[in-house]
Amino acid sequence: MSYVQDCDYAYHQLTSSHTCRRSRKSESLYVRSATPLVVQRNLSTGGKRAPYLYVDSCNIYFVVMCRFLVPVLLVLLPNSASFSIPPSSVGSRSFEERKSSIPTTSLSQHENVLPTAEGVDALVSSKRRMLLLSPSLIASGIWFAETSPAHAGSFAPGGTLVDYEVGVTVGNSQASKSRKADNSNVVFVQDYYYKFGTAAQWIEAGNTDFPKKMPFAPAQQRYEAMKKYRERVQRGIDLIVGLGNAISAETFSSIPDSTAPEYSIRPFGLLANSMFASENTGTTNELLLARWYINEISLDIDDIKNAPTKDEAMKSLQAAKAALNSYLGLLNRVITSKVGDYFDLV
């Protein structure tokens, strides 16, 4: 059974292997270990065990819980037993005497043993009691009891913690389902899904609402990239569009897979690097978005090749065209008369 060292609050019924101490100068409570805190009864569980709340050493959230919200819950919850420590003797007795006076009954023997309001009042000063019983803190204690455990959030493949659902098709039902959740089977790993954990929307022809702004890249850099990669990119575009003939002839299972250089998947990405990023901007969200479209094209090519039916292959081709048009729409927004000619959408 754990105990409270040099601390007025007797949390021995609620803590497990926590060692606390009070700074006499700052009146602050410090937690030295990281073990679960279990509240035996909870408003939202009908008297059942509340879930564990894990804390790190000196975690400020845990300190607030110990000093404010937990005592509020102790006051509000029904009690079947009580314990008390005479307030007059708290400051005068030695640590060993205070330790020996703390009950050592196991929680497993008394499932619902909780300190009463009188027991808490004996341990908290009058100013503390007024603060603990304030309406705002009572409301906070009730809210905590009704909402625990808290939502832990989700992680994007790149490690970003987000508070929404993640998934390869979240945000776009036409996104390829063959993409792995860890983004390990795409050409350009660091893309939109890698950072945000969701699929991007398609960009309709002429739509400039998404993304709202385009990053700056020097005109000379864009011009040289267009001069170097345009023809290879255009050959890849023509080959992807031509997959419709293979589907119509039902020979789509024999087409080259996405790693074939004829599709120009890597030149797609190299062109995007020069059009949507520079040494000053680094990797931009617009570049990640362009890479996501390129990865979708690559995945859709393999989906066409591996499609069980002609209809499934045609659906993958339509998705590939939507991704291709979205990619070309992004490129056209940063192509000026000094850079080159626009790409025709498919």
Angle between helices 265-276 and 219-241 (to 10 degrees): 150
**Tokens, residue 3:** 């105990």
Does residue 132 sit within a domain?
A: yes
Q: Are residues 174 and 315 in the same domain?
A: yes
Integer Cα distance of 236 and 338 in angstroms: 24
pLDDT of the residue at 153? 74
Please give the model's pTM, rounded to 2 decimal places: 0.59
Domain match, 197 and 135 both: no
Please state the rounded mean pLDDT for residues 144-161.
66
Other C-beta atoms closer than 10 Å to the C-beta of 315 total 16
Q: Do 104 and 200 have their domain in common?
A: no
Across the range 33-61, mean pLDDT stands at 39
On whether both 77 and 192 belong to a single domain, the answer is no
**Domain hosting residue 225, numbered range:** 161-333
Residues 71 and 185 in one domain: no
DSSP 8-state symbol, 100: H
Q: 93: exposed, middle or buried (C-beta count within 10 Å: 0-12, 13-18, 19+)?
A: middle
pLDDT range class, residue 26, cuts 50, 70, 90: very low
Number of domains in the chain: 2
Which of these three, 112, 147, 182, is where a domain ends? 147
Q: What is the per-residue pLDDT across 181-234, written as a single tens digit (0 to 9) for each? A: 999 999 999 999 999 999 999 999 999 999 999 999 999 999 999 999 999 999
When pLDDT is cut at 50, 70 and 90, the band that residue 88 belongs to is very low
- Domain end marker among 147, 182, 209: 147
Q: What percent of the chain has pLDDT over 70?
A: 56
**Residues 294, 197 share a domain:** yes
**Mean per-residue pLDDT of the chain:** 74
Cis peptide preceding 211, ω within 30 of 0: yes
Residue 291 buriedness (CB in 10 A; 0-12 / 13-18 / 19+): buried
Considering the domain architecture, whether residues 143 and 113 belong to the same structural domain is answered as: yes
Indicate the pLDDT class of residue 245, thresholds 50, 70 and 90: very high
- Judged by average pLDDT, the poorest of 113-117, 303-307, 329-333 is 113-117
Residue 57 or 289, more confident: 289
- Give the pLDDT confidence score for residue 145 in this predicted structure: 38
Inform me whether the pLDDT recorded for 110 exceeds 60. no
Assigned domain for 153 exists: no
Largest CA distance in the chain: 94
User: Is there a cis peptide before residue 149, judged by omega within 30 degrees of 0?
Assistant: yes
Instruction: Identify the bridge partners of residue 155 per DSSP, sorted by sequence position.
Output: 161
Do the domain assignments include residue 342?
A: no
User: Is 144's pLDDT higher than 90?
Assistant: no
